[in-house]
Amino acid sequence: MNKFFTILGHTYKNRVKSKSFLITSVITVLLILALSNIQSIIEMFGGEDEQKEVIVLSENEEWTEQLSQVLNLQESIAVSSFSGSDEEAKTQVEEGEYEALVTLQEGGEGLPEADFYANQIANTSVSDSVRQALQQVKVSIVTERANVNEQVLQQITAPVSFELIALEEQAKSQEELNQTRGIVYVMLFFMYMSVLMYGNMIATEVATEKSSRVMEILISSVSPVSQMFAKILGIALLGLTQFGIFILAGYFSIQQSMESEGPSVLDIFGFTEVDPMTIVYALVFFILGYLLYATLAATLGSLVSRLEDAQQLMVPMTLLVVAAFLIAMFGLGAPDSTFVTISSYFPFFTPLIMFLRVGMLEIPVWEVGLSLVIMVASIVLLGWIGAKIYRGGVLLYGKSSSLKDIKTALELSKKDN
């Protein structure tokens, strides 16, 4: 047991002191700071405050009047009538005097038609506003002609009242769903990142020890099983440290940005009122998911004899994570589809998909329990197989690093008694 902690401590200390740990931590903390202060950062560049001036060229004074009335309600756009010629107006826009030019002509049935000129038409915020305003003008002209009074018009355009109410008492309400969606997003992201990052780290650790041949000394001192799990837990501790730093950084910077005004990132992701059970589930699935993938990574790492081959052998694992990620993305929109339900029992998908189902739907406890049992069973099974492969794999040196080696590794570790 002592040796177990020696390896665990060694793995952890070595990694914490490494440059790569420092760099990834600093970069991520900076990202978190940037993200939580995104509002202030956007404001700092101040692009939104500037009024966009739009000129209107029209034969019909009344339309211009109506259009500018509607548009001037929005502070960001200022409309003015232009008295020069068509060409002059375009030149002015080209020279940047004005943001855009709108020309109004009379089309069929005496209704306005417009052309919108701007230097770039990729940004549609101004053109959309103008289009909507012109639509309003058109509607009011038509209704006026048909003698429809103001009240009727309002009734026509008012949005219908439409609310989603789940009949099952336990089902999630609309707001709850939005909140869960937010946390599922974050969880998906964390899961994906950490499995890739820490999984790779474990595989690299094992492959480094193999390529430097220190493994031969290590396995004559400590059993491969303790080595493997000490490594997995050491890297897990490292992950906790790193996430601890991230959470602290996030917490402080969000607090700071909350002191200023506006909706914080927390509100956007719906973190303010989360069911505590969801957090518990998130933790449980996260830990189990990590253990499962980490065991797989250690097993794969023990099969290669050179560091360069480690990346290659990690591909199947990466594909599993990506598949889980894609299914989860699909599942956010349709959490109750059969496909999602079935895949939530596949252990490598469970941590993401089952968590998504728990968060989004009200599913019976036994289903969650079953998926947890399947996961724990597969961790134990994979750990058992992994330890065997590890034991044989670490003695296996060769050019190839194919999955065929698994068989050879198992044969090497075979116990006759």
Q: How far is the CB of 14 from another protein (least distance, A)?
A: 8
CB closer to another protein out of 25 and 226? 226
CB closer to another protein out of 18 and 119? 18
Dist CA 23 CA 2 (whole Å): 32
* Residue 21 near residue 238 (C-beta atoms within 8 A): yes
Which residues lie below 8 Å from residue 100, measured CB to CB, with a gap of 6+? 52, 54, 55, 93, 116, 117, 118, 126, 127, 130
CB closer to another protein out of 10 and 404? 10
CB closer to another protein out of 14 and 72? 14
Which residues lie below 8 Å from residue 349, measured CB to CB, with a gap of 6+? 323, 324, 327, 343
* Residue 369 near residue 344 (C-beta atoms within 8 A): no
* Token output for 211: 């390529």
* Residue 371 near residue 350 (C-beta atoms within 8 A): yes
Q: How far is the CB of 197 from another protein (least distance, A)?
A: 20
* Token output for 99: 């943001």
Q: How far is the CB of 21 from another protein (least distance, A)?
A: 14
Identify the CA nearest to 135 among candidates 61, 183, 67: 67
CB closer to another protein out of 176 and 205? 205
Continuous segment of H or E residues that includes residue 102:
strand 100-106
Give, to the nearest 10 degrees, the angle between helix 350-360 and helix 174-211: 170
Q: How far is the CB of 10 from another protein (least distance, A)?
A: 5
Dist CA 239 CA 237 (whole Å): 5
Q: How far is the CB of 24 from another protein (least distance, A)?
A: 18
Whole-number Cα distances in Å, 35 to 29, 233, 264, 288:
10, 30, 10, 29
Q: How far is the CB of 16 from another protein (least distance, A)?
A: 14
* Token output for 84: 């020069």
Q: How far is the CB of 294 from another protein (least distance, A)?
A: 21
* Residue 229 near residue 384 (C-beta atoms within 8 A): no
CB closer to another protein out of 88 and 411? 411
CB closer to another protein out of 175 and 216? 216
Site of tokens 């903390």 = 29
What 3-state DSSP class applies to 114?
strand
Q: How far is the CB of 3 from another protein (least distance, A)?
A: 5
Q: How far is the CB of 394 from another protein (least distance, A)?
A: 9
CB closer to another protein out of 200 and 211? 211
Length, in residues, of the chain: 417
Dist CA 329 CA 191 (whole Å): 13
CB closer to another protein out of 16 and 372? 16
Residues of this chain that interact with another protein (CB under 8 A) are 2-3, 6-7, 10, 14, 208-209, 212-223, 391, 395, 411-417
